[in-house]
Amino acid sequence: MPSYDASRFNPPAPVAQVTLRNPATGTVVSNVVLLVDSGADITLLPRKAIVELGVGLATGPGYEVAGFDGTKSFVPAVNVDMVFLRRLFKGQYLVIDEDQGILGRDVLNHIALLLDGPGLSWKEHRP
């Protein structure tokens, strides 16, 4: 069962492992760790996984993002396929220089998750 990560986050936070695929070559990178963040508008992927995929970054100045603390920065975008909970999400995601990415509402709004904080686990909710 997916779990919360207490080694990178204090207090522990829900994380997901996704698979990324280069749509042009079919190259796959598995077990990419993303923080499940319902407060994030968009999904951000770790640069290390994108480099492993061999996907080129979109040209241009990038997109301006703001952190919860108000700091702003520009980050590049990339087009990749993402598999999460046996579903394929095709699209453009932003790239960050962190060990783990962030799974945002652009993906989370398409699924139902049940977060069990006391049990430090989560699961897909299927009514």
Burial of 29 per CB tally in 10 Å (0-12, 13-18, 19+): buried
CATH of domain 4-124: 2.40.70.10
Domain ranges for the chain = 4-124
| 42, HSE (Cβ side, Cα atoms, 13 Å) | 16
Q: Is the pLDDT of residue 59 over 60?
A: yes
pLDDT in tens, 71-91: 888 899 999 999 999 999 999
Alpha-carbon span 7 to 60, nearest angstrom: 36
Residue 19 is predicted with a pLDDT of: 98
